[in-house]
Amino acid sequence: MAAWSSSGDPSSRPPWRRHIGRQLRARDHREKSAFQELIQQYNKLLEKSSLLKELTETLPTDPLVFPAGQVHRLRASTSGSNLLEDAATQQREVEDIKTFNGKLACDACSLKHQVEEQDKKLSEQNSRVKALWERTALCCAERDTLEENVNVKVEANAELKQEYDLLLCRRQVVEETLQKEELEAQTVLEQLNMLKAVRAENQNKINERREHHSWMTHRKNALRKTVSDSGYDPTSQILVSVCWSNAIPIIDFHLNASSLEHSSVTLSGSLESVKKQRDRSLSVPHGPAKVIEVFKKLFDFSPKKEQESLYTEQTFYLPSSICVVCGLPDKVVSSKEIHDSEIHAVKFSPNSRVVATGGTDRVVKLWEVTGGILQEYQTLEGSRGGITSIEFDPSGLYVLAASFDGAAHLWKLDGKARESLTGHSNKVTAARFKMGSNRAVTGSKDRTVKEWDLQKAACVRSISVTSYCTDVVCCDSCIISGHCDKKIRFWDSRSESCIKEVTLEDKITSLFLNQDQTQLLSCSRDDTLSLIDLRLGNILQEFRAEGFKCGCDWTKAILSPDGSYALAGSVDGTIFVWNVLKGCLERSMSGQHSSSVNAVTWSLSGSYVVSVDRGRKAVLWSEF
């Protein structure tokens, strides 16, 4: 600094040094100007005080020290003025001035102290300014380096931009070529599909003509044939007539039952053709094709044929009467323990002759209702978890059950497990057939609803939901699922979109669809049954009763076959019956169950109701 100050021209100094000099001069001017007036006043006071001091020293303040002659002369010289009073006044002024001088001295000391503190701060700021200047120099050097790097990157990016523009032009050319080729491929594919459709239509016409000609030939041959035993007996003759209605054979037969033991059948040609036609008509699981199968098995007297097969056909295949008007069940015809542990599900078969039950003992039991008694017919095994729901297919040949092992199991009534539908990651809470026996829908606690192809045992559709599913039902146009988040969701059969939602007061425990698929009955944990109109999408009625409480999260509520009554079991074992038309409680039945009733089922014939509880008991009710 000394070397720099001794140098010549100030313009040759660095800028920061000139800046510091300017700051010091400004500080000196600012601090001097603030106290300049105070210093001037202080100097004036000092001058006045020195003058008064001299005056007071020359004039004695005590009048006693003056001789009488001097006092007389002083009084005479002052032309009668009171010098003593003037002296006292001046003495007081001097004291006031001294006091004021003392205050000014104190203020000067404090100001001096402040100046010293400001000097310290200034020195600290000077040191910080020096450090900042050094840091600024480093930052400038880094900035220069970064600018050089930026320039290099800009040049590299410019080169890459040129390459990118070239590639973009090439991509546009390739996309245009691809679009042209896709349009050409789509045109060719459409032409091929049209050609295939024309060929398929022509082939179908040829096949129809061939089948029509073949069936006409078989019909003529069947009409010419008769069936009799070795010794002709007119009472044992079987007359067979084949008529046609929409290309479906309907066989009417008359049989004298007393001659079955001696009959020998020679209808191999006509029955074989009927069998082929039945195999081609897989979409018709019952009706005329079923009658043909019964007719063929009835007259098959092969030594290997067992009498039990005939019993099976008569018991499970033949349809039962459908109830038009239901009566109220009020009579207990059977009550017994049928499982080793808690029972969760019960279901009547379509012919009202068989009841299936399942629970935590991992088996499904089939019971035959004969003479008002439940007789065990078959036990279906294969599940590794408890059974949560049971469903029969429309033909009554297959049983589908949901299980806690994360799968749904399909059995044939001969006791053999046909398929296991695996794919859920948690308990399967519901399983239902959809539009016949070839499709099924399952709901699970893994928050999914899945649709299955039973012929392939493969999942063809999976719907993800925000809440786990407690029950599902299927109608012709949609899938309906109930969930723990208090909502009933309606899913389009052709997509995964939810087309409608109905929100209840508490989580759903079960869903039940009436026979004509116009009304839906739901049961929820707020001890309420809700009847929903599927055509309008609103709640028609709500059923409650004093003492009715849902016993668990899978309590099942049902409608009667004619839709006139709603039925559900309570936690105390009482069964409540509501009149749907009147909207009131019709009847309550108690005394048979000692624990919570989990599920109930009503036969399609309207004759029987079966209720099952947590205490392993099943009760068969009848209206007679």
Please enumerate, as own/partner, the contacts of 440-448 that have beta carbons within 8 Å and a separation of 24 or more.
440/400, 440/408, 440/410, 441/472, 441/474, 441/479, 442/402, 442/408, 442/472, 443/402, 443/469, 443/470, 443/471, 443/472, 443/481, 444/406, 444/468, 444/469, 445/469, 448/424
Q: How far is CA 386 from the centre of its chain?
A: 26
What is the C-alpha separation between 51 and 53, in angstroms, rounded?
Answer: 5
- What pLDDT is attached to residue 252? 38
- In this predicted structure, the answer to whether residue 71 has a pLDDT above a threshold of 50 is no
Read off the pLDDT band of 155 (50, 70, 90).
Answer: very high
Residues 71-102 as b or e (16 or more Cβ within 10 Å = b): eeeeeeeeeeeeebeebeeeeeebeeeeeeee
The per-residue pLDDT for 623 is: 78
Percent of all residues in the chain with a pLDDT value above 70, rounded to a whole number? 76
For the segment 37-60, what is each residue's pLDDT rounded down to a tens digit? 778 888 888 887 777 777 676 655
Contacts of 143 (CB under 8 A, 6+ apart): none
pLDDT at 292 over 80: no
3-state DSSP of 168-209: HHHHHHHHHHHHHHHHHHHHHHHHHHHHHHHHHHHHHHHHHH
Q: For residues 59 and 51, what is the distance between their CA atoms, to the nearest angstrom?
A: 12
With 90 as the cut, is the pLDDT of residue 268 above it? no
pLDDT in tens, 408-467: 999 988 767 678 899 999 999 999 998 777 899 999 999 999 999 998 889 999 999 999
Alpha-carbon gap, residue 291 to 319, rounded angstroms: 10
CA dist., res. 568 & res. 593, Å (int): 13
Rounded CA-CA distance 493/369 in Å is 36
- How many CB atoms within 10 Å of residue 1? 7
* Helices 83-224, 268-280: crossing angle, 10 deg rounding: 160
Residue type, 248: I
**Domains in the chain: boundaries:** 234-305, 336-622
Q: How confident is the model at residue 94 (pLDDT cuts 50, 70, 90)?
A: confident
**pLDDT for residue 556 is more than 90:** yes
Tokens linked to 539: 């709640």
**Sign of the CA dihedral running 173, 179, 183, 186:** positive
Cα separation, 541 vs 581, whole angstroms: 10
pLDDT of residue 273: 44
Main-chain dihedrals φ then ψ at residue 486, nearest 5 degrees:
75, 15
Superfamily of domain covering 336-622:
YVTN repeat-like/Quinoprotein amine dehydrogenase (2.130.10.10)
CA dist., res. 408 & res. 68, Å (int):
145
Is residue 82 very low, low, confident or very high in pLDDT (cuts 50, 70, 90)?
A: low
Given a contact cutoff of 8 angstroms between Cβ atoms, the answer to whether 439 and 420 are in contact is no
Span 456-507, pLDDT tens digits: 889 999 999 999 999 999 988 889 999 999 999 999 877 778 889 999 999 9
Q: What is the pLDDT of residues 304-346, one digit of tens each?
A: 334 344 334 444 444 455 566 788 888 899 999 999 999 999 9
Mean pLDDT of all residues in the chain? 78
* pLDDT above 60 (res 129): yes
Place of tokens 């009482």: 574
Of 549 and 38, more confident: 549
Higher pLDDT, 583 or 270: 583
Specify the amino acid at residue 311.
Y
Of 234 and 324, the one with more pLDDT: 324
> Rounded to an integer, what distance in angstroms lies between the CA atom of residue 119 and that of residue 111?
12
User: Measured between alpha carbons, how far is 609 from 567 in angstroms, rounded to an integer?
Assistant: 10
* Mean pLDDT on 378-394: 92
Q: 3-state DSSP call for residue 552? A: coil
Q: Taking 60 as the threshold, does the pLDDT of residue 570 lie above it? A: yes
The pLDDT, as a whole number, for residue 83 is 63
Residue of 260, 556, 592 lying closest to 432 (CA atoms): 556
> What distance lies between CA 230 and its chain's CA centroid?
72
Quote the CA–CA distance of 91 and 89 in Å, as a whole number. Answer: 5
pLDDT of 74 higher than 60: no
